[in-house]
Amino acid sequence: MQLARVTGQVVCTQKDPHLAGIKLMVLQPIAPDGTDLGRTLIAVDAVGAGVGERVFFVRGKEASFPFHPVEVPTDAGIVGIVDHWSLG
């Protein structure tokens, strides 16, 4: 799992039927200290995250697991909203 900040939402006029009813969010991966880390990406949202929230997400096959038994065509998925974290 990786930390990220939700920076936007993707609106599509047409998308794969397996993505019907699923929000697509723009994520900026972040380091544990909160600084930006790497490039932005698009992820499906399994938890109802909003813009500005900190989330954790998974990549790969596991990204579609929260939608089982539907086979969602994705390689990144938001699986949790972070309330807070601390280092040390």
Q: What is the pTM of this model?
A: 0.91
- Tell whether 88 is covered by a domain: no
CATH of the domain at 12: 2.40.50.220
- Tell whether 87 is covered by a domain: no
- Tell whether 47 is covered by a domain: yes
Give percent above pLDDT 70 in the chain.
100
pLDDT attached to residue 82:
96
pLDDT attached to residue 36:
96
> Which residue segment(s) compose the domain that 62 sits in?
2-81
- Tell whether 86 is covered by a domain: no
pLDDT attached to residue 86:
85
- Tell whether 58 is covered by a domain: yes
Residue 88 has pLDDT above 80, yes or no: no
pLDDT attached to residue 78:
97
- The count of domains in the chain is 1
Q: Rounded to an integer, what distance in angstroms lies between the CA atom of residue 26 and that of residue 42?
A: 5
Token digits of residue 35: 């600084």
- Tell whether 6 is covered by a domain: yes
Residue written as token pair 């499906």: 44
Q: Which of 75, 86, 26 is nearest to 55 (CA)?
A: 26
